Amino acid sequence: LRSCSPGRARRTNASRRACLVARFGDIYAQERLDAETLLRTYISDIEMVQRIIYIAAVESFHEAKMAYRQFKIRVRETLSLGHSGPESLEDTVLDYIVRHEDLYDVQASVNEVIRSMNINPKISFPPEIDFIVISTLIRELCRVAFSMQTLVPPLDIAFGTDGELFSETKYHRSIDSDFTAALVAYHVWPALMENDIVIVKGEAVTKR
């Protein structure tokens, strides 16, 4: 803790936020497409492939947020024993987590995501293959989602359901969408949110 300066996490908040938003975009543009290409070698149905990737993103954020909460509780319990200021305990905890994000057990989150996906009724996979084939995508999503929890305010993804009314502010329509359809058939990528405001649009398929 000697290397931690007071309020460092808050002072670097804007630059860290910009990097994480950009990284989220990079994952959409690169790791997502790599995962899609990989899955297409096992699954011919593009809708199933895209559903798998979307659910991987949703589950990755869920598990990373859970891991962050548990990590923060442990750090707060440890630091509260010797905390004396001048910064608040909460700022000290946040500084510590930002400086020691490498202590996050990302593999444990990846394992939980894959376990959740294996029992998700909306997606299926050939029995001889495992969702571990897209673990690179899951790992990168877990990392960025965990780091997004250290921001003030934290970033999160939008909740999406099949059949919801398509929102121009939340999503881009996929190229194979029916552009006159009002309802979302399924989601391709989640929107990124800050305080319930969309900062990066997701992608959805609309069909009649």
Reported as a single tens digit per residue, the pLDDT across 111-145 is 999 999 999 999 988 877 789 999 999 999 999 99
Residues 149 and 166 in one domain: no
Residues 181, 164: Cα–Cα separation, whole Å:
11
- Domain final residue, candidates 130, 154, 178: 154
> Same domain for 102 and 193?
no
Range of the domain at 183: 158-207
Q: Which of 154, 171, 190 is the last residue of a domain?
A: 154
Q: pLDDT band for position 85 (50/70/90)?
A: low
pLDDT digits (tens, 9 = 90+) for 24-71: 999 999 999 999 999 999 999 999 999 999 999 999 999 999 999 999
Q: Please report whether residue 3 resides in a domain.
A: no
Output the pLDDT for position 83. 66
CA-CA distance, 9 to 80, in Å (whole number)?
18
Quick one: 167 and 71 in the same domain? no
Which of 138, 154, 170 is at the close of a domain? 154
| Same domain assignment for residues 15 and 108 | yes
Has residue 16 been placed in a domain? yes
Residues 6+ apart with CB under 8 A from 146: 64, 65, 67, 68, 101, 104, 106, 109
Return d(Cα 34, Cα 26) in angstroms, integer: 12
Say if residue 24 is in the same domain as residue 71: yes
Q: Which of 191, 17, 39 is nearest to 9 (CA)?
A: 17
Per the domain annotation, does 133 fall within a domain? yes
Tens-digit pLDDT profile for residues 161-207: 999 999 999 999 999 999 999 999 999 999 999 999 999 999 999 99
Number of domains composing the chain: 2
pLDDT given for residue 77 in this prediction: 84
Does residue 113 sit in the same domain as residue 181? no
Residue 196 lies in a domain: yes
Are 146 and 134 a contacting pair, CB within 8 Å? no
